[in-house]
Structure 1
Amino acid sequence: MDGLDRFDIAILRELQADGRLSNAELSTRVGLSAAPCWRRVRALEEGGYIKGYRAEIDRHKIGLGVLAFVRLDAERNNANVTRQLEEAIRAVPEVISCHYISGTGTFELQVVSRDLNSFSQFARDVLLNLPNVKDLHTSFSLGEVKAGGALPLGQLLSDRSPGG
């Protein structure tokens, strides 16, 4: 895709709000007929704008009451050590998000657990035993203000060329 026009942006906005929309409903909402809407969705998928679809699950309802933010410090920061640690982190299902960060620490992880005791055991048995881990610093979520938010798309409208 060469660029996104107002229909593509509208499709992205609607699908972020509800990824289960039928093509018929989506096409009505964005003002296109069904076939061109479907082609645009396919092009957005193939172009990598839409990475996938999934259900957003309430972690509390499935018994994961603790959300921890863990800053993980690596023993040494070189390419091989970092790659080993990244691979190990990817393999841990309780780590739901991981970012390589600037400043103090090497990685910032979001970790879910049943309760504080489970998290404590997990930190000792799993996180501290990841390759080349020097230290952990943990903060716990005391309540969610905003999560799973849609990405802002306003910059796409201002980036468009006139007449696009």
Structure 2
Amino acid sequence: MEILDKFDLAILQELQTDGRLTNAELAQRVGLSAAPCWRRVRALEEAGFIQGYRAILSRDKLGLGVLAFVRLDAERNSGDVTRRLEAAILAIPEVVSCHYISGAGTFELHVVCTDLEHFSRLAREVLINLPNVKDMHTSFSLGEVKAGGALPLGHLGSSHGGTRR
């Protein structure tokens, strides 16, 4: 296992900012030549630090103007029923993010919809009827301040000894 050094951290930071950088551009930005930069990127991918690349789409441009935060409280917190609920949540395209949060079997969903009518149908016909759901609480976003931000990497710097791959 190798320790992430300043070049690895710089590569991760640059790719979080712009995942479409060519290897030559990335190498120049982090102060490496192209071949060692490419090898480091591949090693970071293989080690699981880089999980993939994707485009960030505009909800508003795509007509998904409603962002709701939905908390689902589970009836029971046992393995099989929790796995069934998780599987059902995974199958709902409007759920763009889901976290199992502290509390008694509670899930926090980020749900996007075209409008309030769409959300209302989804909530009444799908979400509240998911397996093992006891209760549902919803809050709506009134505007995004920050979304999809880059992960902070400062704690991995040389003053903290880095981290292992």
TM-score band w.r.t. shorter chain = over 0.9
The CA deviation at 1:105 is 5.5
Amino acid at match of 2:160: D
In structure 1, the partner of 2:48 is: 48
Aligned length: 161
Which deviates more from structure 2 when the two are superposed, residues 61-70 or residues 152-161? 152-161
Deviations 1:32-51, CA, capped at 9 Å, x for gaps: 00000000000000000000
Report if aligned partners of 1:66, 1:112 keep a CA contact under 8 Å in 2.
yes
The CA distance in 1 between the partners of 2:96 and 2:105, in whole Å, is: 18
Unmatched 5+ stretches in structure 2: none
Contact 1:64–1:112 (CA under 8 A) maintained in structure 2? yes
Unaligned ranges ≥5, structure 1 = none
- TM-score, reference length from structure 2: 0.94
Q: Deviation at 1:104?
A: 5.8
Could you state the TM-score of these two structures normalised by the residue count of structure 1? 0.95
Contact conserved, 2:74 with 2:104, CA < 8 A, in 1?
no
Aligned equivalents of 1:3, 1:109: Cα separation in 2: 35
Partner residue, 1:160? 161
| Larger RCO of the pair (alpha carbons < 8 Å, separation 6+) | 2
2:112 corresponds to: 112
Could you tell me whether the CA contact under 8 Å between 1:5 and 1:160 is conserved in 2?
no
Identity of matched residues, %? 75
**Counterpart contact for 2:77–2:105, Cα < 8 Å:** no
**2:124 maps to what in 1?**
124
Check conservation: 2:70, 2:136, Cα contact below 8 A.
Answer: yes
Aligned runs of 1:1-80 on 2, under 5 Å?
1-80=1-80
Instruction: Tell me how large the CA RMSD over aligned residues is.
Output: 1.1
1:30-75 CA distances to partner (integer Å, 9 max, x unpaired)?
0000000000000000000000000000000000000000000111
